[in-house]
Amino acid sequence: MNTFNQTPLSNQSLKITMQTQPPKQQDISINSNIKIEDDRTGMSLETLKRAFQDNLFYLQGKDSSNATLRDYYYALAYTVRDRLLHRFIKTSRTYQEQDVKVVSYLSAEFLMGRHLANNLLSLEMYDKMSQVVKDFDVDIEDLIEEEPDPGLGNGGLGRLAACFLDSLANLEMPAIGYGIRYEFGIFRQVLRDGWQGEVPDNWLMYGNPWEIARPEDTVEVGLGGHTEAHHDENGDYRVCWIPERKVKAIPYDTPVPGYKTNTANSLRLWKAEASQEFNFEAFNAGNYDRAVAEKMSSETISKVLYPNDNTPQGKELRLAQQYFFVAASLQDLIRIHLHKHPSLDNFCEKSAIQLNDTHPAVAVAELMRLLIDEHDIYWDKAWDITQKTLAYTNHTLMPEALERWSVSLFGKLLPRHLEIIYELNHRFLENVRVWFPDDDNLASQLSIIEEGGEKKVRMANLACVGSHAINGVAALHTSLLKKDTLKHFAKLWPEKFFNKTNGVTPRRWILMSNPKLAKLVTEKIGEDWLKDLDQMRGIEKYIDDPEFRQRWLAIKQENKAHLAAYIKKTRNIDVDVNSIFDVQVKRIHEYKRQHLAVLGIINLYNRIKQNPNTEVVPRTFIFGGKAAPGYFMAKLVIKLINSVAEVVNSDPDVKGRIKVVFLPNFSVSLGQKIYPAADLSEQVSTAGKEASGTGNMKFAMNGALTIGTLDGANIEIREEAGAENFFLFGLTAEEVYAKKSEGYDPMEYYQHNPELRNVINRIAKGHFSYGDEKLFKPIVDSLLYQDPYMLLADYQEYVDCQDRVSEAYQDREKWTKMSIINSARMGKFSSDRTIREYCKEIWGVEPMKIEIDAYSQ
């Protein structure tokens, strides 16, 4: 534990008023006519100071004589939260009263990042609170660092959900996020001898001031059991599901404020609890163990986030998690709807539900079940409501990443849902055979059930059939979905397909992470760009202003110096702030090709070893990212990066001109330090594999240039920035497909390219593993004998492209111009633009202004 946390921070000025006595109701002068009691959540400096002091005393039980940094963090967080609550309560009341259509964003992951700074900025409290805490001898930035980063997601998909919630609130859209309140988020990554180690992320240990439990909205979710059919008094066929067990779902709400608006939407996360504290039968029979075990097994459901990214594992608990949060969220939505309306007939007019990937796709079957079995609606009507309500976002083209559950596992956990899926599949395929009578293959491709071998439920097919809109997340991705992954659905329903290119929020990813840059931009073009990123174009006219360029460059250098200090502190590596900060941070995955960058580094190293006096433009290669704990190759890539780092960083011939750094535990908060400090953004996935990418957008907004393939949103980033401001290399998606079908042989590249051969041989001969030729053999063999992600095919172009980068960086004026242009032209990649498109074209929701009266303000 950080000893600093435990050291009380004494404070002169406060000792007078606060020893062991509660703060007195002292003479706080308020110049308005609001009474002191009414001004509890006021924004005057005096009131804020008083509130901070009260929270420290009454909630933390501390005063300035014994408060730790953590105590101050909580006091500050509660001070901010109190001021969020008016907005939060008023927002949900307004949606209810106005009976507006609300979008529900269902996602198994929300990678929100820390809340404090975001909320301070949204509420325009940052400067005042910074002043307040300064009176206690505390730096607000240190308090911001005290907050545990809520890591309830794996990577891009979870972070997208968080950016979307931010944009929805910013645009004053009626919206709610639904997900799981994992007790343990994504593991904390540590390095042990260059290998990834995983440590549990106990983020709730000291309590979470940003959430509010709503036990009164608890619902029950059934699991397992069997079904019983009968005909009711009207002669209608009815089915009753008798679950084997029931789990309580308790909602916890986190307010999500819009930037400088009154809107504060809700992120509602469900916690699983046993429906009874104990099985009293077992308990009374003296079977205490079993009574406790049952309670524990219910609570396991929301215990931990599965740390896989783009690789589903088919575990029963995972399906239970998915069903758990979907069932709880749908019950919640139906309860709210029936509060205002006599029936669910108009449900789709008041509710739009977005499925973030197939993780919540069981919603198709659950909504049908609720409508038919629980709310007595006939099948056809229920199906109409379901399809009109749901929409599905696909996030991957890789067939192995599409979720498929074995029918036996699915039926064991969700017997009624399996019946519904069979029934709707039957009806669907009957239509398909009518529409396309001669195409048996089409029906088998479209079927929700995969036959042949073990039967599987194809969740992507379920989502497609049950939704009125299907979208990809970048132009290339959507076009490949239509051409390949979901081509049969595109043939059936071309009108259901949409592209919604991803975006990221400029509030977190520029304003919060790069405040100096934000200040410079605001100084030049005013502050509206934060709500309308297209306005960033306005800075382009300053590229010929040497003073502006100088300031732009100076900010980049300061950000690099900050990161360099962090690198020194955490890894004890000295890096040169004048070197190119060449950064690749993202989940470690073979398709993302971190090892391609490693091959490039080894090649540079080889050049130096061959001729130590060779000209080298200094570079710092920075890597970060987690590997799924069960993904052996990804973990070996981390070991390789660290092994290469060890050799390169200490080789006297290198003379410090190249450094390699792996920063452990990449997360939203670490990203906020890294993206603004990058000169070069590595986006080198095999073309056709990265659905969109969003890291690429964060880098470019912060003035990094991209070296990248024509993949995902890279293509659109290059279109916006201009080809001359982007370092392009590599095969196109079409060329990748063509090469694969011709029969790709990586060995040919190895044999015909001596430099590449030397690079691979260095690894194979144990140069980075103390002579151990076995350690990295799996990587070497994979590259030479399969190379499924075609690193060797792209190798030479990558190396040549990196040489062009080095050359370009030597002209710093030119480089800075390109950097400014990149930032200026990223308006398209604000998630505000993405969300506007979803609202208009998929959800049909409109903004709703929230009025805050003088009292609550």
DSSP three-state, residue 466: helix
The single residue of 694, 706, 709, 816 carrying the catalytic annotation is 694
Q: Which range touches ligand PLP (CB under 6 A), out of 22-30, 344-352, 513-521, 688-696?
A: 688-696
- Tokens describing residue 134: 């300064």
Q: How far is the CB of 203 from ligand PLP (least distance, A)?
A: 14
The single residue of 114, 248, 395, 689 carrying the catalytic annotation is 395
**Rounded to 5 degrees, what are φ and ψ at 433?**
-70, -25
Residue 668 contacts ligand PLP per CB under 6 A:
yes
Q: How far is the CB of 445 from ligand PLP (least distance, A)?
A: 30
Nearer to ligand PLP by C-beta: 556 or 586? 586
Residue 159 contacts ligand PLP per CB under 6 A:
yes
The single residue of 698, 718, 762, 817 carrying the catalytic annotation is 698
CA separation, residue 35 to residues 22, 29, 30, 42, 49 (Å): 21, 10, 8, 11, 17
Is 315 catalytic? The answer is: no
Closest CA to 268 of 336, 184, 188, 197: 336
Is 86 catalytic? The answer is: no
Q: How far is the CB of 270 from ligand PLP (least distance, A)?
A: 23
Residue 36 burial by Cβ neighbours in a 10 Å radius (0-12, 13-18, 19+)? middle
Nearer to ligand PLP by C-beta: 503 or 671? 671
Binding pattern to ligand PLP, positions 618-657, x when CB under 6 A? ----------------------------------------
250 Cβ neighbours under 8 A, 6+ residues apart: 213, 214, 215, 218, 270, 271, 272, 273
Nearer to ligand PLP by C-beta: 502 or 819? 502
d(CA 437, CA 420): 25
Tell which one of 179, 222, 255, 693 touches ligand PLP (CB under 6 A).
693
Is 694 catalytic? The answer is: yes
Q: Which range touches ligand PLP (CB under 6 A), out of 86-94, 154-162, 558-566, 780-788?
A: 154-162
- The angle subtended at Cα 512 by Cα 547 and Cα 676, nearest 5°, is 55
Binding pattern to ligand PLP, positions 586-605, x when CB under 6 A? xx------------------
Q: How far is the CB of 396 from ligand PLP (least distance, A)?
A: 12
DSSP three-state, residue 471: strand
- Tokens describing residue 750: 């190895």
Q: Which range touches ligand PLP (CB under 6 A), out of 128-136, 366-374, 652-660, 663-671?
A: 663-671
DSSP three-state, residue 683: strand
d(CA 321, CA 414): 12
DSSP three-state, residue 34: coil
- Listed in order, strand segments (DSSP E) in 193-299 are 195-199, 212-213, 219-223, 226-231, 237-242, 245-257, 264-274
Q: How far is the CB of 206 from ligand PLP (least distance, A)?
A: 22
Nearer to ligand PLP by C-beta: 264 or 717? 717
Closest CA to 681 of 667, 657, 700, 663: 700
Q: Which range touches ligand PLP (CB under 6 A), out of 245-253, 283-291, 334-342, 660-668?
A: 660-668
Nearer to ligand PLP by C-beta: 372 or 510? 510
433-440 LR contacts (CB < 8 Å, sep 24+) = 435/492
Closest CA to 699 of 684, 681, 716, 685: 681
Tell which one of 393, 694, 816, 819 touches ligand PLP (CB under 6 A).
694
Q: How far is the CB of 500 from ligand PLP (least distance, A)?
A: 16
Q: How far is the CB of 21 from ligand PLP (least distance, A)?
A: 45
Nearer to ligand PLP by C-beta: 149 or 273? 149
Q: Which range touches ligand PLP (CB under 6 A), out of 85-93, 101-109, 408-416, 662-670?
A: 662-670
Closest CA to 472 of 438, 449, 498, 448: 498
226-234 LR contacts (CB < 8 Å, sep 24+) = 226/415, 227/415, 227/416, 227/419
Nearer to ligand PLP by C-beta: 87 or 159? 159
d(CA 105, CA 98): 20
Q: How far is the CB of 503 from ligand PLP (least distance, A)?
A: 11
Is 261 catalytic? The answer is: no
d(CA 749, CA 298): 54
Nearer to ligand PLP by C-beta: 462 or 713? 713
Q: What is the DSSP letter of 495?
A: G
DSSP three-state, residue 62: coil
Residue 542 C-alpha from the chain's centroid: 34
Residue 695 contacts ligand PLP per CB under 6 A:
yes
Residue 676 contacts ligand PLP per CB under 6 A:
no
Q: Which range touches ligand PLP (CB under 6 A), out of 170-178, 201-209, 234-242, 694-702?
A: 694-702
Q: How far is the CB of 653 from ligand PLP (least distance, A)?
A: 33
Residue 472 contacts ligand PLP per CB under 6 A:
no
d(CA 212, CA 210): 7
Closest CA to 733 of 749, 716, 709, 714: 709
- Tokens describing residue 51: 């509130």
Tell which one of 266, 667, 706, 819 touches ligand PLP (CB under 6 A).
667
Residue 167 contacts ligand PLP per CB under 6 A:
no
The single residue of 268, 586, 589, 689 carrying the catalytic annotation is 586
- The angle subtended at Cα 833 by Cα 827 and Cα 839, nearest 5°, is 175
Q: How far is the CB of 766 from ligand PLP (least distance, A)?
A: 31
Q: Are 248 and 272 in contact (CB under 8 A)?
A: yes
The single residue of 62, 587, 589, 659 carrying the catalytic annotation is 587
- Tokens describing residue 627: 């590997």
Residue 155 contacts ligand PLP per CB under 6 A:
yes
The single residue of 369, 496, 551, 592 carrying the catalytic annotation is 592
CA separation, residue 592 to residues 611, 622, 701, 712, 790 (Å): 31, 15, 21, 12, 11
**Among residue numbers 528 through 587, which ones bind ligand PLP (CB under 6 A)?**
586-587
Nearer to ligand PLP by C-beta: 676 or 693? 693
- Tokens describing residue 381: 């009507």
Q: Are 746 and 793 in contact (CB under 8 A)?
A: yes
Is 592 catalytic? The answer is: yes
Residue 209 contacts ligand PLP per CB under 6 A:
no
- Tokens describing residue 441: 């293959």
One-letter amino acid identity for 739?
K
Q: How far is the CB of 237 from ligand PLP (least distance, A)?
A: 48
Q: Which range touches ligand PLP (CB under 6 A), out of 96-104, 362-370, 426-434, 665-673?
A: 665-673
The CB-side HSE value for 838 (13 A sphere, CA atoms) comes to 34
Q: Are strands 188-192 and 195-199 parallel, antiparallel or unpaired?
A: antiparallel
Q: How far is the CB of 690 from ligand PLP (least distance, A)?
A: 7
Residue 671 contacts ligand PLP per CB under 6 A:
yes
Q: Are 530 and 259 in contact (CB under 8 A)?
A: yes
Task: State the number of binding residues for ligand PLP (CB under 6 A).
Answer: 13
Residue 156 contacts ligand PLP per CB under 6 A:
yes
One-letter amino acid identity for 119?
N
Cβ-closest position to ligand PLP:
695
Q: Are strands 237-242 and 226-231 parallel, antiparallel or unpaired?
A: antiparallel
Q: Which range touches ligand PLP (CB under 6 A), out of 35-43, 643-651, 667-675, 730-738?
A: 667-675
d(CA 312, CA 480): 21
Nearer to ligand PLP by C-beta: 114 or 318? 114
Is 395 catalytic? The answer is: yes
Residue 174 contacts ligand PLP per CB under 6 A:
no
Q: Which range touches ligand PLP (CB under 6 A), out of 36-44, 130-138, 396-404, 689-697?
A: 689-697
Binding site for ligand PLP (CB under 6 A): 155-156, 159, 586-587, 666-668, 671, 693-695, 698
Residues that are catalytic:
395, 586-587, 592, 694, 698
